[in-house]
Structure 1
């Protein structure tokens, strides 16, 4: 064998709910998915993955409910089709506490929270995990999610327009507000942070207006590892601009090669 050895990264795939993809499996006597709302379920899983030398756990998520089939949620509720579904961020610190190497990719919708507070949420997770957190950037597709927020679902490409600006604001907060040397932790001099090295962020855009300082000191990564799964032309453009990890779906090598080429282009 010549040349450098290639590596493959192993990621578990789950969701903070009973039925993620294999709906109905929760009824199997050995399945523990119905314990999704306990910390023990997640810490046991994290320790198992760490012992199995997995690199990460990817956590899917949706904000709304599947309410199209049959005109309601009858099947969704009976079969636990991603309902109920809990917040994906809150289980991560517990799993990080019982592991040393496992990474965590969290799916979070850009429409769920203002970037000013979202930046703090991700920085906090990056601190608590020691730099082991990633974010799967999604724009959503469920009308039920936007109805729950009292809004209409924007058109497909407009959702990506919003996401582009959302990321622009986050980069300013994560990367531009605090200098690396801002935090001194000087007990004797009674200076924790040097205010001269902390700058406010000012942004005026089509969708967002932000004026303020990032609330967190620089985390290990500042900007977390970014995932994206857009398959459309607009989604690929977004992924090419922002993502470090991109999900693709391909039937054969040729279509996989074309998808990768398009994203890299």
Structure 2
């Protein structure tokens, strides 16, 4: 059987996600991010393209490292203003039947007890089509505005995430038996109190004595996404995540990362292919190679260099305004996004080079070409690196997704490497074909009290 490519659309509830400045493009609808109609239209478009999911990024702070303040981010709209990613999902679920929704939420700034209820609610309302992108947070401004003096050290953030997910697994998987509730004729009680269990969690970071507030949803635990690429992040992902997002810029880097994650997953007692690995990718395409190149040159005219540097300064934890455009730039390791530090390098780039090379493709691979050329590239990445698919970043929204769906999707389908219809059922079943629930080999399964499998 030919391996099917997994595709997510990568977006954010803001005017500029990755490619700073392109909200000014005459075709861009990004400024409509605050209108529910924008999200409804996007969801219907992506379902037309048979995308596996819409992956919605998020931050809870502002990019204020560049120049020592938020001015560059505000002027360019670089991930500010930014709205809540979870609130747009129920509306999108009403106009789609199959599209999955991966929402980002940090373990650093919300108590797991209340977060468990929010995600269970989404899983109920979407009929099992929601996933959680687990992040630990990296912006100093987010830490300060949540009452912390500084951002928690990187290793400590993952220690907190380990316990955070433990609490959630206890709530989602073990608090309610599958048959604890019912409305069968003649049943006298809605919930059987003997089948609802306090989790009695007493840990270093959290104390949660009681029961989960929500009855079991179709998936119980949402599909688990994760995007940490550091050594500690990879280990956490190998033990917990079902879909891991990487931003590798070359096939060589991606191949090493994929092999490492699969080995770690196997060492954690999991099937290494119980983890779907997706790499960031920007595809600029058109009906022909010439049309795609013309599209690319048009998009480049709208790039905001200071907005791009505001984003990179936040990711790196280093104020890039201190460097001249043509000076080699080296950044030191720190407690922020360690994977970005590794990608930026130690003097291999000038800022001018970096803006030119990575203002559009800051999150992984990059292809400009005809439908055949883009399809060739995506197939090569899969075949040469063992990656499962891609998070497609838009240069303009929704235009980048429209171009890909109209031109590249039919070519991938013609080659038999992309689905021609959706599988019925919950998001986890669509991705893995084994039902709505986590497999017994997953860490969360150790907290279960139930054995009955949900229908899909």
Q: TM-score range by the shorter chain?
A: over 0.9
Shift of 1:190: 2.8
Alignment match, 2:192: 194
- Secondary structure of 2:50's counterpart equals coil
Mapped partners of 2:253, 2:30: distance in 1: 35
Shift of 1:23: 1.4
Matches within 5 A, 1:138-157: 138-151=135-148, 152-157=150-155
Q: 2:6 aligns to what SS in structure 1? A: coil
Offset of 1:187 from its aligned partner? 5.2
For 1:99, the equivalent position in structure 2 comes to 96
1:107·1:137 contact (CA, 8 Å) conserved in 2? Answer: yes
Asked whether 1:34 is paired with 2:36, we answer no
Q: Could you say which residue in structure 1 is the equivalent of 2:179?
A: 181
- Give 3-state SS (helix, strand or coil) of 1:106's partner: strand
1:214 is displaced (CA, Å) by: 0.3
Q: Distance in 1 between matches of 2:190 and 2:101?
A: 30
Match in the other structure for 1:207: 205
User: Could you tell me the TM-score, scaled by structure 1's length?
Assistant: 0.96
Classify the secondary structure of the residue corresponding to 2:261.
helix
Q: Residues 238-249 of structure 1: matches in 2 within 5 Å? A: 238-249=236-247
Equivalent residue number for residue 21 of structure 1: 18
Superposed CA deviations along residues 98-132 of structure 1, whole A, max 9, x for unmatched, are 00000001111112211111000000000000100
Q: Distance in 2 between matches of 1:123 and 1:42?
A: 21
Matches within 5 A, 1:1-265: 4-151=1-148, 152-186=150-184, 188-264=186-262, 265=264
- Paired residues of 1:139 and 1:163 also in contact (CA < 8 A): yes
Where structure 2 has 5 or more consecutive residues not aligned to the other structure, the ranges are 265-456
Q: Aligned equivalents of 1:52 and 1:41: distance in 2?
A: 17
Instruction: Give the superposition deviation at 1:9.
Output: 1.6
Q: How many residues align structurally? A: 262
Tell me if structure 2 keeps the 8 A contact 1:185–1:193: no
What is the Cα deviation at residue 252 of structure 1? Answer: 4.0
Higher gyration radius (CA):
2
Q: Distance in 1 between matches of 2:128 and 2:159?
A: 28
| Unpaired segments ≥5 residues, structure 1 | none
> What is the root-mean-square deviation in Å for CA atoms of aligned residues?
1.2
Q: Which residue of 1 aligns with 2:274?
A: none
The separation in 1 between residues aligned to 2:196 and 2:109, in whole angstroms, is 27
Q: Quick one: distance in 2 between partners of 1:83 and 1:167?
A: 28
Does structure 2 conserve the Cα–Cα contact (< 8 Å) formed by 1:61 and 1:88? yes
Corresponding residue SS for 2:10: strand
Residue deviations 1:51-94 (CA, integer Å, cap 9, x gap): 12111100000010000111111111111000000000000000
- State the alpha-carbon separation in 2 of the partners of residues 22 and 228 from structure 1: 22
Structure 1 CA distance for aligned equivalents of residues 247 and 15 of structure 2: 25
How big is the shift at 1:46?
Answer: 0.5
CA distance in 2, matches of 1:121, 1:48: 26
